[in-house]
């Protein structure tokens, strides 16, 4: 990754990230409505929501909350830029963790009991998906011999053929990352839940708009993780990656609409079991089928 490619990726992600993310969320809301026998909002509804939130009065319980959230947004953007520039996958993973951490701090800073329970649940969610995400980086190295995401372009076959079970594990925790039922414990995009609005309870106006925009960037980045598994040497595979990414997003919407929220104990234990099993079997598979671990 050169400085130039990073600059180009940063610029592209800053501009295209929220647009794509907004379209994804808009499509999500319409598809969700259709699945429930409704018509649903206009396609650009997420954009209207954010525009409205930005037009609201500025007020927050802790004046630092806004800075934490903006920093979280910056971390997400940087992480995405490193990812799409072909940078180090560990850096991508850690920047995104930092973003989650800042989000949690922003919620704790208001000391509202609802926001605190929401933030506590967010931490449990991080605990549930983080091992899988870090092991994804490790297995990426074992399979490609490099931590740079650009290394997939030198492969003779897609990553999903080398690490099918890691892909399954990623799909499992993706539901947590995208804040979909049954794992939308800390806050959900639909209706209100048992904790008022969970982690976002005390975030209003501008701050909520920043949270929403961060979520757009995140969605694109996480679908990028999925796409990574389907890119190899021929450049046309990028199209395949996009198609698979969209298909996975549709699958997430189906899951979102078919399951009720679970308890955190269930989420935590199952995501760790899935991580453990997938990673252990992947190790065996890498050795047995391809006979290599770099």
Chain positions contacting another protein, by CB under 8 A: 29, 33, 36-42, 45, 47-49, 51-52, 55-57, 59, 191-192, 196-197, 200-205, 208
Q: How far is the CB of 45 from another protein (least distance, A)?
A: 5
For another protein, the closer CB: 199 or 221: 199
For another protein, the closer CB: 38 or 292: 38
For another protein, the closer CB: 68 or 139: 68
Give, as one character, the DSSP assignment of residue 197.
T
Q: How far is the CB of 285 from another protein (least distance, A)?
A: 45
For another protein, the closer CB: 30 or 255: 30
Q: How far is the CB of 200 from another protein (least distance, A)?
A: 8
- Is residue 13 within 8 A of residue 77, CB to CB? The reply is yes
Q: How far is the CB of 190 from another protein (least distance, A)?
A: 9
Q: How far is the CB of 4 from another protein (least distance, A)?
A: 34
What is the residue-wise DSSP string for the chain? Answer: --HHHHHHHHHHHHHHHHHHHHHHHHHHHHHHHHHTT-----TTHHHHHHHHHHHSPP--SSTTHHHHHHHHHHHHHHHHHHHHTT-BHHHHHHHHHHHHHHHHHHHHTT--HHHHHHHHHHHHHHHHHHHHHHHHHHHHHHHHS-SBGGGGGG-SS-HHHH-HHHHHHHHHHHHHHTT-TTS--S--SSS-BTTBTGGGTT--THHHHHHHHHHHHHHHHHHHHHHHTT--SSTTHHHHHHHHHHHHHHHHHHHHHH-PPPPHHHHHHHHHHHHHHHHHHHHHHIIIII----
For another protein, the closer CB: 57 or 265: 57
For another protein, the closer CB: 52 or 284: 52
Q: How far is the CB of 26 from another protein (least distance, A)?
A: 11
Place of tokens 């209706």: 191
Query: How far apart (Å, rounded) are the C-alpha atoms in residues 36 and 48?
Result: 22
Q: How far is the CB of 40 from another protein (least distance, A)?
A: 6
For another protein, the closer CB: 21 or 26: 26
Query: How far apart (Å, rounded) are the C-alpha atoms in residues 87 and 91?
Result: 8
């Amino acid at each position: 990754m050169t400085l130039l490619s990073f600059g180009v990726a940063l610029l592209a992600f800053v501009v295209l990230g929220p647009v794509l993310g907004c379209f994804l969320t808009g499509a999500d809301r319409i598809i969700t409505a259709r699945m429930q026998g409704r018509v649903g909002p206009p396609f650009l509804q997420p954009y209207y929501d954010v525009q409205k939130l930005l037009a609201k009065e500025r007020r927050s319980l802790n004046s630092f909350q806004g800075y934490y959230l903006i920093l979280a947004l910056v971390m997400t953007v940087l992480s995405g830029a490193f990812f799409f520039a072909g940078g180090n996958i560990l850096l991508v993973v850690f920047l995104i963790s930092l973003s989650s951490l800042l989000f949690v701090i922003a919620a704790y800073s208001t000391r509202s009991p609802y926001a605190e329970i929401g933030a506590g649940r967010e931490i449990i969610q991080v605990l549930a998906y983080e091992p899988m995400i870090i092991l994804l980086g490790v297995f990426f190295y074992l399979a490609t011999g490099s931590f740079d995401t650009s290394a997939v372009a030198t492969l003779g076959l897609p990553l999903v053929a080398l690490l099918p079970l890691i892909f399954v594990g990623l799909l499992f925790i993706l539901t947590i990352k995208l804040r979909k039922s049954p794992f939308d414990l800390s806050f959900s995009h639909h209706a209100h839940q048992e904790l008022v609005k969970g982690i976002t309870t005390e975030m209003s106006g501008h701050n909520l708009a920043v949270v929403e925009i961060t979520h757009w960037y995140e969605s694109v980045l996480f679908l990028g993780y999925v796409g990574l598994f389907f890119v190899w040497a021929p450049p046309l595979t990028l199209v395949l990656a996009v198609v698979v990414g969209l298909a996975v997003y549709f699958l997430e919407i189906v899951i979102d609409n078919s399951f009720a929220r679970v308890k955190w104990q269930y989420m935590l234990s199952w995501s760790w079991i899935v991580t453990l099993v997938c990673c252990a079997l992947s190790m065996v598979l890498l050795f047995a089928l391809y006979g290599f671990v770099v």
